[in-house]
Amino acid sequence: MNKNQSMHNEIFAHLITDWLSAKYFKTFKIKSNETEIDFIITQREKKFLLSIYPLWDDLDDRIIEIEKNINQSIEKYENSNIVWIPEKNKKFLQEHENEIIEKIGKGIKGLQYGEYREIRMPIEITLSKTEDTGSYVAINGALSKIWTKISSGVQGVFQLDGSNYGRLPSELAEEKIIIDRIQEASKLLNVGEASFVTIDEYWPVNNVTCEKNKQKIIIPTPSQNTNLNDGPLIRKKLRTILDDANKKNQSNEIDGKILLLLNSKNKHEDVVISSLKSINPAIFESIALILIVNAGMISVIKKNDAMNF
């Protein structure tokens, strides 16, 4: 595990204790770091082993450098912050580094413990018209998730290159602004013409508690060669993770094991869930609670009935 990921894990552990405290109206705290990925967390007299596993192998090198520069540039902020920037090509990161630092600085301003926010980052996409008849927009990138909504309001056939667009908003009202902007731009094009359209991409932010003077801004963006939609790859990785977690701390000193899976993609937990269903349940029988964080949003994948807080 690289040094950067190891530093991130304590912040992810705080994210989970914050979330558990809010969800179950009880106080969860980190008692100790057992290893780089394992933490003992407590709720009164109860003790749980929390193990943290990313679904990627490496973080983006350029993002690691930007993260370092952000922490040197932004001095005043509350607690720690996790900024979920989607995968970006090196050219974009080089050209927009100052803007990224500025956007994050403004985006975390005033954010309080436990709050969730989305930072808007302007992204340029390309729209071209290929036919006058029909009502269809062929899209690549994250915008392809809403291609039917976009297509319903255009006249003609279009190609939309959204390969550099990585994340949609969580709010439907914000999504509608994007759809309207693309549809309005389509009205100005003739067959054979293309234009640039600027729309906002959305970067979730979690505000997380931390120890005094240990505030940090982290950006858990995987390297671009990571494919978190590859079912067979995810299944193989999950088997390795579950086997490792299952072997940990077999003593009676803990009241349960909690497994946290880190996913930088939003709304892709279905890939993980379907992968888990194909794995022998005996492999993760000893794990009482399995959670996944998808770009800032935490979901319960599995919870034993005996797991009482």
In-domain check, residue 308: no
Q: Which regions of 9-115 does DSSP assign to beta strands (E)?
A: 29-33, 38-43, 46-54, 80-83
Domain of residue 217: give its range: 3-114+209-303
Tell whether the model's pLDDT for residue 177 goes beyond 80. Answer: yes
Report the C-alpha dihedral over residues 147, 166, 222, 203, rounded to 10 degrees: -130
Q: Which amino acid is at 240?
A: T
Specify whether the CB–CB gap between 230 and 143 falls below 8 A.
no
Report the C-alpha dihedral over residues 67, 90, 129, 190, rounded to 10 degrees: 90
Q: Which of 177, 202, 227 is the last residue of a domain?
A: 202
| Four-residue CA torsion sign, 113, 116, 122, 123 | positive
Residue pLDDT, tens place only, 178-202: 999 999 999 999 999 999 999 999 9
Q: Could you tell me if 93 and 137 lie in one domain?
A: no
pLDDT at 217: 92
In-domain check, residue 98: yes
pLDDT at 286: 85
Q: Could you tell me if 173 and 275 lie in one domain?
A: no
Q: Which of 202, 217, 247 is the last residue of a domain?
A: 202
Q: What percent of the chain has pLDDT over 70?
A: 94
Phi and psi at residue 166, in whole multiples of 5°? -110, -20
Q: Which of 153, 187, 202 is the last residue of a domain?
A: 202
Give per-residue burial for 5-23: e unless 16+ CB within 10 Å, then b: beebbbbbbbbbbbbbbee
Residue pLDDT, tens place only, 199-224: 999 999 999 988 777 789 999 988 87
Q: Could you tell me if 110 and 219 lie in one domain?
A: yes
Q: Could you tell me if 87 and 235 lie in one domain?
A: yes
pLDDT at 99: 95
Tell whether the model's pLDDT for residue 5 goes beyond 70. Answer: no
Element (H, E) at 161: strand 156-161
In-domain check, residue 89: yes
Q: Could you tell me if 17 and 107 lie in one domain?
A: yes
Residue pLDDT, tens place only, 63-85: 999 999 999 887 777 789 999 99
166's tokens = 């990585």
Which range has the top average pLDDT, 5-9, 129-133, 250-254?
129-133
Q: Could you tell me if 27 and 102 lie in one domain?
A: yes
pLDDT at 191: 97
In-domain check, residue 12: yes
Q: Could you tell me if 11 and 108 lie in one domain?
A: yes
Specify whether the CB–CB gap between 259 and 300 falls below 8 A.
no
> Where does the pLDDT of residue 258 fall: very low under 50, low under 70, confident under 90, or very high at 90 and above?
very high
CA–CA distance, 32 with 104 (Å, rounded to integer): 30
Report the pLDDT averaged over residues 288-308.
86
> Where does the pLDDT of residue 250 fall: very low under 50, low under 70, confident under 90, or very high at 90 and above?
low
Residue pLDDT, tens place only, 88-138: 888 899 999 999 999 999 999 888 887 889 999 999 999 999 999 999 999
pLDDT at 10: 92
Specify whether the CB–CB gap between 31 and 57 falls below 8 A.
no
48's tokens = 């749980």
Q: Could you tell me if 22 and 156 lie in one domain?
A: no
294's tokens = 């998808």
Count of structural domains within the chain: 2
In DSSP terms, 116 is beta-bridged to 206
| Contacts of 218 by beta carbon, 8 Å cutoff, 6+ apart | 7, 8, 11, 67, 80, 81, 82, 83
40's tokens = 């003992």
Q: Could you tell me if 224 and 295 lie in one domain?
A: yes
Report the pLDDT averaged over residues 222-232.
78
CA–CA distance, 177 with 170 (Å, rounded to integer): 12
Q: Which amino acid is at 169?
A: P
In-domain check, residue 100: yes
Q: Could you tell me if 134 and 268 lie in one domain?
A: no
Q: What's the mean per-residue pLDDT of the chain?
A: 88
Q: How far is CA 294 from the centre of its chain?
A: 4
Tell whether the model's pLDDT for residue 302 goes beyond 90. Answer: no
238's tokens = 């999950």
